[in-house]
Amino acid sequence: MIFSAYIPGSKKVVGRKYLQIVTSLPPKAPMPIEIERKFLVQDNSWKKDKTGIYFCQGYLCSQPERTVRIRVTADNAWLTIKGAATGLARPEFEYAIPVAEAKEILALCPPCIIEKIRYRFLENDMYWEVDEFLGANSGLTLAEVELEREDQKIFLPTWIGKEVSQDVRYTNAWLAKHPYQDWAAAQKISSPDNKVSF
């Protein structure tokens, strides 16, 4: 509530002063947005002489509207919150946390825990991230590339297969509840129907 009041002995008006304070605040920072495309990987020609990092991650919350993820490597850990996707974009907030605490939080996550080896490398002037899944999701390899805008043009390497950017089954949150090893062969190549949910 903005009000005006004359202060005796002063030429100041409280209401105007309050208004000046409000309007001088810095503009709100834009929400962090993740824009990415995701693909199946059809061969191992990308892998030559590359070294990956082991990731272990679980989900405290995995709903279409929001996910809360804990991710751990040997030396680092992050808490990540993602909102609902609109097209290829979704809000994402990520915070580094102590590894010891992350492992404790990971123990609170329901099975199955996602395990994978991630490779990050430059190809065709863009950084690609390739995930080789382990454990209950072994046999699945996905490639992701982050974009600055949804209509950004990219040159696809020869080892890239079918795009699955908007196929919810290939999200890590879905795989944590529905491991790839449990999928029927037909399901692994088909498109999802409108009944797919978390």
Arithmetic mean of pLDDT over the chain: 84
pLDDT for res 97: 97
Poorest-pLDDT segment among 46-50, 93-97, 123-127, 187-191: 187-191
* Burial of 176 (C-beta count, 10 Å sphere; 0-12/13-18/19+): buried
**Residue 4 pLDDT exceeds 50:** no
Where do the domains of the chain lie, and which CATH numbers do they carry?
32-182 (2.40.320.10)
pLDDT for res 166: 92
Q: What is the pTM of this model?
A: 0.78
Retrieve residue 194's tokens. Answer: 């409108």
Poorest-pLDDT segment among 16-20, 43-47, 57-61, 153-157: 16-20
Q: Could you give the residue numbers annotated as active site? A: 59
For the residues of 130-147, what is the DSSP string, one character each? EEEE-GGGTT-EEEEEE-
For the residues of 82-119, what is the DSSP string, one character each? EE--BTTEEEEEEEE--HHHHHHHHTTSPSPPEEEEEE
**Residue 8 pLDDT exceeds 70:** no
Percentage of the chain exceeding pLDDT 70: 78
CA distances from 6 to 21, 22, 96 (A): 17, 19, 50
pLDDT for res 192: 53
Q: Do the beta carbons of residue 111 and residue 182 sit within 8 Å?
A: no
